Amino acid sequence: MAILVIAEHDGKNLKPGTTNTITAAGKLGGDVTVLVAGHNCAEAGAAAAKVKGVAKVLVSDAPQFEGALAENITALVLSVAKSYTHIVAPATGMGKNFMPRVAALLDVQQISDISSVVSADTFVRPTYAGNVMATVQSSDAIKVITVRATAFDPAGDGGSAPVEALAATPAAGLSKFNGQELTKSARPELTAARIIVSGGRGMGSAENFKILEPLADKLGAAVGASRAAVDSGFVPNDYQVGQTGKIVAPEMYVAVGISGAIQHLAGMKDSKVIVAINKDAEAPLFSIASYWIVDDLFKVVPELVTELG
Amino acid sequence: MKVLVTAKRVIDPYVKVRVKSDGTGVETANIKMTINPFCEIAVEQAVRMKEAGIVTEIVVVSIGPIQCQETIRTAMAMGADRGILVEMAEEAQPLAVAKILKAIIEKEQPRLVIMGKQAIDDDSNQCGQMVAALLGWPQATHISNVTINGDTADITREIDGGLEKLTVNLPAVVTADLRLNEPRYVTLPNIMKAKKKPLENIKPDALGVDVKPRLKTLKVAEPASRSAGVKVADAKELVAKLKNEARVI
């Protein structure tokens, strides 16, 4: 077994999700090589070398890898793919984007979003918004896998893997990266937060949504939202938690004014403690909540802020 | 320009999915089926581009059992011009779907392919990327905006931390995210009109592609359920529980 993990990073550090993916890769049984591709990404390569369980780091540093364009990253991964039995990446925005391209060009059926490794060729993955867990076995020679980060613990520090340069493949010339507009926030990232405060349709408006901020401040929490809140224009799409948004599993998830559609539960039901605040006593979210309050959120949220002191 | 869109038939997202008692799959008998919501957004985008005078013809493709004709008719009622059903009884996995679509796209020669970012049944999020790869075309996944400028398209993509801007050469494959548009409701006159639109029925064999599944589903099961929680009276009691019982704050 030889496993290649494709890292997601910001040039300096590994993004949350990559170290969990390294843990998943370790369960396949074999040497784990981490590929760090980017522009000016030497620091991220050094960070990957320190992760426990990593045997080798490949760094490919070139302008065409800025923005991780799927066409360009795919070409690079294909240049080394045949040396590995498994190619693994986190099922994040980046991994979802380029990995199926790699799989198709290797003539391999990708296994998306695995939540458990049964053996080197058999995996469990959630389907139907996490309501059905499918155990699937791959017959392909190379397994191309994306990993649900919340299902695996992050690998810690303690490694000292050698770092090698990998020759860059040329730009595909099919697309051009024009930049990113990242949501600026002093809060932790949703997928890395220990606590998340999330609002739904019950918040009523973008203005009202802001009452969650003092609560998030008190808890040191990230702020998330249901699809209904995004659809209603209360918050940007990158707040979305759910089947088609982000999958999270924090220590505590506080759902405010969220009724709990299947699609939302899919994104947060593995949180350790779930708190639900909703005035509708029949809200489906109560069925999975650890604690719930049936009351007007506009009364309870400020009271919570006061109680937290 | 010609646009090709895809429409997958899936279990209605508001239906509670049940696992068959023998663990071989999910119950589909007498279950409400619908067009995959992200495919619906893809169709809507194509129709809006036709209404704006950018697109001249919309071809919609569905792959699956004969009932997928209904899914195609839905897309036609929204405004697609012509349908192709690739009829197969067995499950088509994403790689097989991509190979089928590649064969059809090579014949139809669209300038743009619009697909949903993922199907809400198997949640794989693969097909659009695979089609683009097999054709050697650029891709733009999870898009929230697309503007055609001659031989290129300017794209806004939804990414984990916000938005990303790309320019892709045409032809290209794009996949629709939630905020690309809000699909229209189909009206009765348009449903009637859709019944008269041409719908071709072909078999995968005719396309000469290998559609054998590569993944074998060994079993399916419902996830472990959570232990029951408790209702608390107010903020004060909640904070006490979180401190002393759950110990998360």
pLDDT band at A90 (very low <50, low <70, confident <90, very high): very high
Looking at residue B72, its pLDDT comes to: 98
Question: Residue B20's closest chain A neighbor by CA?
Answer: A132
Task: Name the percent of chain A lying above pLDDT 70.
Answer: 100
Partner residue facing B162 (CB), from A67, A94, A180: A180
Average per-residue pLDDT for chain B: 96
Q: What percent of chain A has pLDDT over 90?
A: 96
CB within 8 Å: A101 and B26: no
Q: What is the ipTM of this complex?
A: 0.94
Give residue A288's pLDDT.
95
Listed range (A141-145, A177-181, A237-241, B224-228) with the worst mean pLDDT: B224-228
pLDDT score at A244: 87
Is B238's CB within 8 Å of A291's CB? Answer: yes
Q: Which CATH superfamily is domain B2-244 in?
A: HUPs (3.40.50.620)
Q: Are A119 and A37 in contact (CB under 8 A)?
A: no
Q: Does the structure show a pLDDT above 90 at A309?
A: no
CA-to-CA dists, residue B195 to B72, B76, B77, B81, B192, angstroms: 10, 8, 8, 11, 5
Residues A244-249 have a mean pLDDT of 93
Question: Which of B14, B126, B151 is the best mutation test for A, with the most CBs of A within 10 A?
Answer: B126
pLDDT in tens, B60-99: 999 999 999 999 999 999 999 999 999 999 889 999 999 9
DSSP line for A169-180: PPP--SEEEEEE
- HEC sequence for B210-247: CCCCCEEEEEEECCCCCCCCEECCCHHHHHHHHHHCCC
- Subunit contact B165:A262, Cβ cutoff 8 A: no
Kindly list the residues from chain A whose CB atom is less than 8 angstroms away from the CB atom of residue B133.
Answer: 74, 100-102, 104-105
Q: Looking at residue A9, what DSSP letter applies?
A: B
Q: What is the pLDDT of residues B213-248, one digit of tens each?
A: 999 999 999 998 888 899 999 999 999 999 999 999
Q: Where are the domains of chain B?
A: 2-244
pLDDT band for position B48 (cuts 50, 70, 90) = very high
